[in-house]
Amino acid sequence: MHTAIITGASVGIGRATAQRFLALGYRVYNLSRRACPEDGVENIACDLASDASINAACSTLLPVVKDSETVCLLHNASQMRKDAVSDCSSDSLREVLETNVVALNSVNQLLLPALPAGSSLLYIGSTLSEKAVAGSFSYVLSKHAQLGMMRASCQDLMGTGIHTALICPGFTDTEMLRTHIGNNPEVVAAIGGMNAYGRLIDPGEIAELIVWAHGNPVINGAVLHANLGQKEA
């Protein structure tokens, strides 16, 4: 049996990816505070800001991992705040890093030793993993950190048969993006107009890339840009 473990599979890219893996016959587990509404997904309530919650969730998953032929461990969940270098308090930054960086490490420490050869460790970054925009200070910082984590993971996992990659979506039509930019049609159109196709990306398009990346270890250590060709500033 093949298994997909997805953080934040309740909405957006995570939910679309859960759908794709289910269609392929995978056991799919969602680690999130909210349940994934897709039939067949096994929800494990998990607060990624809590060590105790992560420990409990991973304890439940360890027997599943050990019983799997391969596992896709997908770090998808993130939080995004509107902040800037001049007004992002250190307490707020710590909270973002706890979810977007430290939690990933905690899950890796608990599950990676049990992952069989042929598995993948995939990180969902952002175009903001390699550049920055105003008003997203803590998010940009955390996504840059995920890029470093993926590259370090690749080096440390040499010889294990586990491959890794950072998938960097462009502006994707998710709940998180809508929360950040609002639903004003003119703003949405302007954001969509920042790529070669003049539209927001559908979460399902990113999900297809994730499934492909899981099955193709040749991309080990790669940064996969999935942004429809963003226009340069």
Residue 164 lies in a domain: yes
Residue written as token pair 């955390």: 142
* Res 189: pLDDT: 67
Number of domains in the chain: 1
Residue 188 lies in a domain: no
Residue 149 lies in a domain: yes
> pTM to 2 decimals?
0.93
Q: What percent of the chain has pLDDT over 70?
A: 91
Residue 179 lies in a domain: no
Residue 180 lies in a domain: no
The CATH number of residue 166's host domain is 3.40.50.720
* DSSP-derived pairing of the beta strands 222-226 and 27-32: unpaired
Residue 193 lies in a domain: no
Q: Determine the Cα–Cα distance for residues 52 and 56; give it in Å rounded to an integer.
A: 6
Within 8 A by CB and 6+ apart from 51, the residues are: 106
pLDDT digits (tens, 9 = 90+) for 175-203: 666 565 666 667 666 666 678 787 888 99
Q: Please determine, for residue 174, whether its predicted confidence score (pLDDT) is greater than 80.
A: no
The domain of 63 spans 2-170+205-226
* Res 196: pLDDT: 78
Q: What is the mean pLDDT of the chain?
A: 93
Residue 195 lies in a domain: no
Pair of tokens at residue 84? 């800037």
Residue 62 lies in a domain: yes
Q: Please determine, for residue 24, whether its predicted confidence score (pLDDT) is greater than 80.
A: yes
* Res 180: pLDDT: 58
